[in-house]
């Protein structure tokens, strides 16, 4: 058994500690495909100034007209949509070292959501197990990281097996092809359907990233339990 099962406040605390370190690296990662495709940097729109925006991007004409600061946004800088998918099947409720796999996964999901939003982009979240338990379209809603952290405490969200086919049928038709998708799971069970989903998601979406969360018990028995 794990020695620690985190609550939502502990998950948020860990995410806040990690998100500032991740922000620049994640931003570069998500923008990579946009940069190498050679898309132009044409003017797209204005948005309200956020502290930290470069002074050279401020639209001084808009300031003169409205008495408010606005920043110029170019095509390659448009809002990115990031969808975080987390596996809540029972195999994630394992932890032989410090905390359970689902706690690690929740820290990762919450950190990603906070990092994405701190970079000014839109984060969405899907919790799935035997079906789709919760689904949020990518948005700037700053409550999403907190709602992710709360999921780990909900007993009804867990089930025996991950239903990858239900995930495939939900995600592929309902999310834009310009979305960057992160899938966080131990990838134990239903691997044929998991592979089918990942192959089709990789073909449709702007970027697909998988994060595998594993515990030593996933690959070997603990010492002193005899043979199985």
The reported pLDDT for the residue numbered 163 is 95
Burial class (CB in 10 A: 0-12, 13-18, 19+), 90: middle
Least confident of 15-24, 87-96, 150-159: 15-24
pLDDT of 187 > 90? The answer is yes
Question: How do residues 51-74 score in pLDDT, each as one tens digit?
Answer: 777 787 888 888 888 888 998 876
The reported pLDDT for the residue numbered 27 is 60
The reported pLDDT for the residue numbered 120 is 76
- Average pLDDT value for residue range 1-30: 65
The reported pLDDT for the residue numbered 36 is 41
Three-state secondary structure call for residue 207: strand
Question: How do residues 149-171 score in pLDDT, each as one tens digit?
Answer: 887 777 788 888 899 999 999 99
* pLDDT classification of 200: cutoffs 50, 70, 90: very high
Question: How do residues 92-141 score in pLDDT, each as one tens digit?
Answer: 988 777 788 888 899 889 988 888 887 778 899 999 999 999 999 999 88
For residue 168, give the nearest of 123, 208, 199, 141 by alpha carbon.
199
The overall average pLDDT reported for the chain is 81
pTM for the model stands at 0.71
Chain centroid to CA 173: how far? 19
Q: Are 174 and 74 in contact (CB under 8 A)?
A: no
Binning the chain into helix, strand and coil, the percentages to the nearest 5 are 45, 20, 35
């Amino acid at each position: 058994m794990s020695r620690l099962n985190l609550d939502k406040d502990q998950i948020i605390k860990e995410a806040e500690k990690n998100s500032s370190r991740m922000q620049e690296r994640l931003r570069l990662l998500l923008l990579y495909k946009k940069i190498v495709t050679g898309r132009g940097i044409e003017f797209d729109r204005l948005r309200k100034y956020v502290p930290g925006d470069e002074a050279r991007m401020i639209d001084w004409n808009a300031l003169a007209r409205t008495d408010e600061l606005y920043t110029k946004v170019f095509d390659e800088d448009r809002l990115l949509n990031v969808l975080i998918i987390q596996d809540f099947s029972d195999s994630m409720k394992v932890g032989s070292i410090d905390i359970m796999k689902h706690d690690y996964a929740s820290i990762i999901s919450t950190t990603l959501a906070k990092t994405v939003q701190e970079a000014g982009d839109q984060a969405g979240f899907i919790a799935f197990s035997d079906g789709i338990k919760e689904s949020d379209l990518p948005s700037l809603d700053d409550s999403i990281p907190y709602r992710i952290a709360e999921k780990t405490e909900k007993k009804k969200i867990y089930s025996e097996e991950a239903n990858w086919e239900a995930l495939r049928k939900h995600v592929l038709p309902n999310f834009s092809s310009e979305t960057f998708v992160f899938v966080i799971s131990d990838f134990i069970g239903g691997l044929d359907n998991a592979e089918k989903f990942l192959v089709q998601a990789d073909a449709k979406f702007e970027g697909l990233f998988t994060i595998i969360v594993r515990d030593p018990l996933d690959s070997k028995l603990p010492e002193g339990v005899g043979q199985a």
